[in-house]
Chains A and B, each alone.
Chain A
């Protein structure tokens, strides 16, 4: 049988060198997407004039377009109209595209999480003289984050896998390196099994971390 188990174990350490790039893309996109998602959620929840319908159109658009198309719009498309925009490198383009897409989904998650916080909490903040922003930052957001963490964990895990799209614009992440390894060695099955095992392990670790975070964050509520 043409299958070299040992090759998998030799491939894993070689591929792991590119794991930081994959994690950087995923975590970077996650942070930016969270920030954008919270802003979108606040705009819609507070029905802010003009911005609210704009946010809804944004969400509708980025939920509908395939991630790959979004990525190509940013990396290949935009420099066509703005030739000076060439400073957008492949890594930035990937992070921006993944953030824009995931922010659309996260906005809905944050909207739900913010609505889950009792309105009396903000009233209490105002009643002792805090501003809305102070109340939001110190009381509302921490409580909403606790509600959001389980789904945020899911989005991070999805982003780790989605970041493999970066190979299409020439970023050497863990998946791009696997492709190189596979075509150089002709050990396709072994190479892809090796990278699959790495993705699996990363997901297991992230799930564990998520569990710990959820436990720590729910401490005040038990």
Chain B
């Protein structure tokens, strides 16, 4: 369903992604873990071309692009296939929660406003924010904003949802409500790629965990084996430091 091959990206002299190959099946939930600067966020941002890869092929839901021959129209077409949840929510600050959710429906899917609003209210209800439809982002807590952002991502009915450290910017007491919402989406069989530092959460929800370091995929596997019996030295070292902190 999602297929990446030979994906490379550098910023200046820094090779952030080195020939990444990755496949995600429909309805699969894949967690990407790894130290800061390992390229996990860049990988996610390359998948919807917020960053332009130097080389490589990306295929989502039957639509393929070649990074070396990227046309503007291809970039827009590929982005239609995914939606992203950002670390810092990035809700449209000039729009209410409801408007945030339905904006893309009206602008890109050309849905009429009443239909979009019905769907918007339903999605806000799904993330537990039915009562906040007319609130602006500035009036919402971080956790609430991130839940609206998740509803906004769901609205476009993407083939895959990309979550880029969705709880990293949250106050600790707000992390739970966002994880709860993500859990509920996992239950709806949505395909998801989630970059996270919440190891226990990754272990709980992911079908597969990928460990990245220094721009490469070091190791991948189901959560039990990757967290239980990591094979690579680099993985062991990383998990060792992470879990000794807790």
Q: B156 and A131: CB pair below 8 A?
A: no
Q: How many A-B residue pairs have CB under 8 A?
A: 78
Q: Is A126 an interface residue (CB 8 A)?
A: yes
Q: Which residue of A lies closest to B101 (CB)?
A: A128
Q: Across chains A and B, which 7 residue pairs bring their CB atoms closest together, nearest first?
A: A128-B104, A120-B90, A124-B90, A127-B84, A220-B136, A129-B108, A129-B80
Q: Are B94 and A128 in contact (CB under 8 A)?
A: no
Q: CA–CA, A151 to B123, complex, Å? A: 40
**Beyond A123-B84, A139-B103, 20 extra complex contacts between A and B, CB < 8 Å:** A118-B93, A121-B90, A124-B92, A126-B50, A126-B79, A127-B48, A127-B84, A129-B156, A130-B104, A130-B107, A130-B108, A139-B92, A142-B94, A143-B94, A219-B136, A220-B93, A220-B94, A220-B137, A221-B93, A222-B139
Contacts of B156 on A, CB cut-off 8 Å?
Answer: 128-129
Minimum C-beta distance from B222 to chain A (A): 29
Task: Report the separation of the CA atoms of residues A123 and B91 in the bound assembly, to the nearest whole angstrom.
Answer: 10
Task: Please indicate the chain A residues that have their CB under 8 angstroms from the CB of B155 in the complex.
Answer: 128
| Chain A residues proximal to chain B, CB less than 8 Å | 118, 120-121, 123-131, 134, 138-139, 142-143, 146, 219-222
State which of B76, B95, B104, B108 has its C-beta within 8 Å of the C-beta of A220: B95
With A120-B88, A139-B94, A142-B94 already in contact, the answer to whether A128 and B136 are too (CB < 8 A) is no
Q: Tell me the bound Cα distance from A221 to B91 in angstroms.
A: 12
Chain B positions within 8 Å of A, measured between CB atoms, are 48-50, 76, 79-80, 82-84, 86, 88, 90-96, 103-104, 107-108, 136-139, 152-153, 155-156, 162
Measured CB to CB, the closest approach of chain A to B147, in angstroms, equals 15
Distance between Cα atoms of A120 and B169 in the complex (Å): 14
Residues of A within 8 A of B153 (CB): 127-128
A134 to chain B: which residues have CB within 8 Å? 107-108
Give 25 A-B contacts (CB < 8 Å), ordered by A residue: A118-B90, A120-B88, A121-B90, A121-B92, A126-B79, A127-B48, A127-B83, A127-B84, A127-B86, A128-B83, A129-B80, A130-B107, A131-B76, A134-B107, A134-B108, A139-B92, A142-B94, A143-B93, A143-B94, A220-B95, A220-B96, A220-B138, A221-B136, A222-B138, A222-B139
Q: In the bound complex, do residue A128 and residue B88 qualify as a contact, i.e. CB atoms below 8 Å apart?
A: no
Chain A residues with CB under 8 Å of B92's CB are: 121, 124-125, 138-139
A82 to chain B, nearest CB (A): 39
Residues of A within 8 A of B79 (CB): 126-129
Give the docked Cα–Cα distance between A118 and B91 (Å).
Answer: 11
* A142 proximity list for chain B (CB < 8 A): 94
Complex: how many Å from CA A27 to CA B82?
Answer: 44
| Partner among A129, A139, A146 whose Cβ is within 8 Å of the Cβ of B76 | A129
Instruction: Tell me the complex Cα distance, A70–B86, Å.
Output: 49
Please name all residues of chain A whose beta carbon is closer than 8 Å to the beta carbon of B86 when the two chains form the complex. Answer: 120, 123-124, 127
The answer for the CA separation of A123 and B84 in the assembled complex, in Å, is 9
Question: Given the complex, which residues of A lie within 8 Å of B76, measured CB to CB?
Answer: 129, 131
A129 CA to B104 CA, complexed, in Å: 7
Residues of A near B80 (CB, < 8 A) are: 129
Who on chain B is nearest to A146 by CB?
B94
**Residues of chain B lying within 8 A (CB to CB) of residue A143:** 93-94
B-side contacts of A120, CB under 8 Å: 86, 88, 90
**Chain B residue nearest to A222 in the complex (CB):** B138
A121 to B100, CA, bound (A): 11
Shortest distance in angstroms between B130's beta carbon and chain A's nearest beta carbon? Answer: 20
Q: In the complex, A146→B95 CA distance in Å?
A: 13
Query: Who on chain A is nearest to B137 by CB?
Result: A220
Once the chains bind, are B93 and A127 in contact (CB under 8 Å)?
Answer: no
Q: Are B90 and A138 in contact (CB under 8 A)?
A: no
Q: CB distance B138 to A221 under 8 Å?
A: yes
A207 to B155, CA, bound (A): 42
A134 and B48 alpha carbons, distance in the complex (Å): 17
User: In the bound complex, what is the Cα–Cα distance between A132 and B144 (angstroms)?
Assistant: 27
